[in-house]
Amino acid sequence: MAERKISEGRRGLPTTITLAALKRTWHVTYAHDPVRAELREEDGTLAVTSPKNLDVPLALLRQWLRERARRELPGIVDAEARRCGIVPGRLQFRIQKSRWGSRSATGTLSLNGALLFLDLDLVRHVIVHELCHVRHRNHSTAFKVLLARNDPKWMTHEARLRQAAGEVPSWVWPQRD
């Protein structure tokens, strides 16, 4: 299947956010306002203002993460696509617990904004894996050969990726319980 699965991460509302892929940390401050909901980014601080409802600041942080992904990931996709000589097609960014990346039948490459919590070499690995699906829809031998050519450490990367969900804090995922 053209997708990478994720399992459970850590729990809690963040006072800092570290995006390993960007080697950057933001401090998060929270203020209550009965009618206002906003997130302002200034000098490495995310100032969240919201009503006293846990869902609102979490939604603001997830929105910030998705926007950050939309800003940061296309450049990495372009660089890897050029290196591999593969045209990526349309890109889309989501925050979803189920997978790191996927490629639809119509050729849209979806990447999880939570990838920003992982080391850059794992982000590149996920992107290269999905780029290889442009040529091969399944995980056939031909796919593995292409993957190995473009990501010689793919086996190590896959093993690390299986542990990597633990790097993603739980606030990133909408709670359904």
Residues that bind Zn ion (CB under 5 A): 2
| Residue number with the smallest Cβ distance to Zn ion | 2
In the complex with Zn ion, which residue's Cβ is closer, 2 or 81?
Answer: 2
Shortest distance, position 129 Cβ to Zn ion, whole Å: 6
Shortest distance, position 75 Cβ to Zn ion, whole Å: 22
Token digits of residue 173: 């995922």
In the complex with Zn ion, which residue's Cβ is closer, 35 or 105?
Answer: 105
Shortest distance, position 92 Cβ to Zn ion, whole Å: 17
- Dihedral through CA 125, CA 2, CA 165, CA 161, nearest 10? -30
CA end-to-end distance (rounded Å), the chain: 28
Judge contact between 102 and 115, C-beta under 8 A: no
Helix axes 120-135, 154-163, angle to 10 degrees: 120
In the complex with Zn ion, which residue's Cβ is closer, 58 or 132?
Answer: 132
Tell me how far apart the alpha carbons of residues 77 and 79 are, in angstroms, rounded to a whole number. 6
SS3 98: coil
In the complex with Zn ion, which residue's Cβ is closer, 97 or 129?
Answer: 129
Shortest distance, position 74 Cβ to Zn ion, whole Å: 20
